[in-house]
Amino acid sequence: MPRSTIARIDLQALRDNFALAQKLAGSARAMAVVKADGYGHGIRPVALALAEMASKYAVACLEEALAIRDAGLRQPVVLLQGVHEEDDLSGCLAHGFEPVLHSQAQLKWLECCGDRPDFWLKVNSGMNRLGFRPAELPDVMAAIDAMGARPRLLGFVTHFACADDPSSTRTAEQTECFVEGTAAWPELMRSVGNSAAHFLPGQPLFDWSRPGIMLYGGSPSVGKIGPELGLKPVMTLEAPLISTRIVKAGEAVGYGSAWVAEQDTTMGMVAIGYGDGYPRHAGTDTPAAVGGQRIRLIGRVSMDMLAVDLTNAPDARPGDRVELWGETVGVDEVATCAGTISYELMTGITARVPREYR
């Protein structure tokens, strides 16, 4: 029998979260962001589950877009990084892919492209990763007009740096920069809204929003966990309890003897570790659950195992299922304890953890 560590994926919760994203988007339409293998949930089943709700998908790169086509889905797919090679641009038209162009090199590829796809332009409104500065847009648009590509241009996109922090003024500044920079072309569509932007009161989302982490139940907002925002957990990460023992007062557990029992403690070993993608830096006091009862990790996470304090679950026995995150323990809670974000935890679950879909 295979090792029973598993990630259970609730596809109805995924659909419910997408419905919330669309509601919060108001008059904008929401495209489903399914990059990074559907944030670790499996790009094919995630895309299929949203097929009757999402009229557009968004991914990072070409191979992810092709996975959507391989699943038999025909909706347009936005390539958020555009294409990385000139030859890939012409193929976008045949597949219905919409690359986001962000550099002069990509514009040159577009000029040389015989069969041009629909495309977007990335505006650098202050994130300073990719995109054209607003002052560059008149020249960019003139070049697009000169090559006869304007009919294929769908609109402009930008990305927010601080939308996760409602107290920051940066999002409003970026929005103003974006609006002013694109004002000369009101007939073109605009897209600005990452997951966090859906939860900012008064934040315009224009024509298309781009919900990502919120679809999977993770919080995009600082100081909030998913359920506080009305989001449902999609992934429940479980592993079996494989042994229990009494650790005597003064005895240490695990590598580095990082945890020492202050009193006699019932300890359990759980068959999951950083080799499965569980974060190594989730140390003592990181929550878990068994039988619906919250417990805590103790000591260091190993490659294939971790230790838990069973004081709050005295009836737990080997073979019981331990929830590492899911319904009882939020993935955002675990991320906070590990000094990271839920995005990294979900996308980091390795291939040796099977996904079970319902």
Residue 14 · residue 54 · CB < 8 Å: no
pLDDT digits (tens, 9 = 90+) for 295-307: 999 999 999 999 9
Residues written for the chain: 358
Residue 233 · residue 219 · CB < 8 Å: no
Q: What does the pLDDT average to over 316-323?
A: 97
pLDDT digits (tens, 9 = 90+) for 197-213: 999 999 999 999 999 99
pLDDT digits (tens, 9 = 90+) for 41-85: 999 999 999 999 999 999 999 999 999 999 999 999 999 999 999
Give pLDDT, residue 90.
Answer: 87
In the CATH hierarchy, which top-level class contains the domain 235-357? mainly beta
Give pLDDT, residue 3.
Answer: 80
Pairing of strands 235-247, 321-325: antiparallel
Amino acid at 174: Q
Percent of the chain scoring above 90 in pLDDT:
98
Cα–Cα distance measured from residue 120 to residue 83, given in angstroms and rounded to the nearest whole number: 12
Active-site residues: which are they?
35, 255
- List the binding residues: 129, 303
CA atoms within 13 A on the CB side of 1: 3
Give the phi and the psi of residue 316 in degrees, each rounded to 5.
Answer: -65, 140
Reference 53, options 19, 11, 96; nearest CA is 19
Cα–Cα distance measured from residue 98 to residue 118, given in angstroms and rounded to the nearest whole number: 5
- List the binding residues for substrate: 129, 303
Domain ranges of the chain: 11-220, 235-357
Amino acid at 247: V
Residue 237 has pLDDT above 90, yes or no: yes
Residue 353 has pLDDT above 90, yes or no: yes
Assign 319 to helix, strand or coil.
coil
Can you read off the two tokens belonging to residue 24?
């919060």
Residue 194 · residue 230 · CB < 8 Å: no
pLDDT digits (tens, 9 = 90+) for 94-105: 999 999 999 999
In the CATH hierarchy, which top-level class contains the domain 11-220? alpha beta
